[in-house]
Amino acid sequence: MSLSLVQDTIKNHFFTQDCLKRVVAFADAGIQHEGWFNGEIVNLFGCMKKRGSIKSWSRECPSTIAGKCDFKLELVNAITVVFEMKALQQRDQHGLWRLGHSAVDIVDHNDISKMLGITATDRYLVVFAYPVRDASEWHELAAKVQQFLVSKKGVHNAISVSRFDDSPGGELSIGWLQLH
């Protein structure tokens, strides 16, 4: 299975009616629930491994630089991918839109450094934003993260938007920020 098929599988899972109902409930309550997204990914990767769609996966992967990275996935084509997951609730419980998130909110706890400390073919910061972000905001967010990394962390790796998907009803965006 290629990385794009893994991305499609994640998108298709989270864009089901049952998952989107939960995402709407989180948004309406004004809460971020990263643990639920991680739990869904654990279940999804377990199923993919059983079907032979992926070679292996692990969570809380030790990094040689800082802490542990959320997920490491080995694809059947010998590609290793490391993921850090972020859930970003976009409005408060009164339905008012937030002005957005700073790069500091996105890369807290040395997320990028954790990924750099693990041998991998590809590294992604996977952002679950709900409700959806405007398409232009994904590129703006990547630029802000890039600027923050250089100025505050001394990390000069490039960050780009590899892909983003929006649910048809606007409940959820899944953005893939790739660390080069």
Q: What per-residue confidence (pLDDT) applies to 90?
A: 65
Separation of alpha carbons 94 and 71, rounded Å:
33
Tens-binned pLDDT, residue by residue, of the chain (180 aa):
688 989 999 999 999 999 999 999 988 887 778 899 999 999 999 999 999 999 999 999 998 887 899 999 999 888 999 999 888 776 555 554 454 555 555 655 477 778 888 889 999 989 888 888 778 878 887 887 778 777 766 777 777 788 889 999 989 999 898 888
Q: What per-residue confidence (pLDDT) applies to 141?
A: 78
pTM of this prediction? 0.85
Supply φ then ψ for residue 28, to 5 degrees: -65, -35
Q: How many domains does the chain have?
A: 1
Q: What per-residue confidence (pLDDT) applies to 100?
A: 52
Q: What per-residue confidence (pLDDT) applies to 8?
A: 94
**Three-point CA angle 27, 33, 34, nearest 5°:** 130
Q: What per-residue confidence (pLDDT) applies to 17?
A: 96
* Pairing mode of beta strands 173-179, 122-130: antiparallel
Domain that holds residue 100: 3-179
Cβ neighbours of residue 93 under 8 Å, at least 6 residues apart?
28, 29, 30, 31
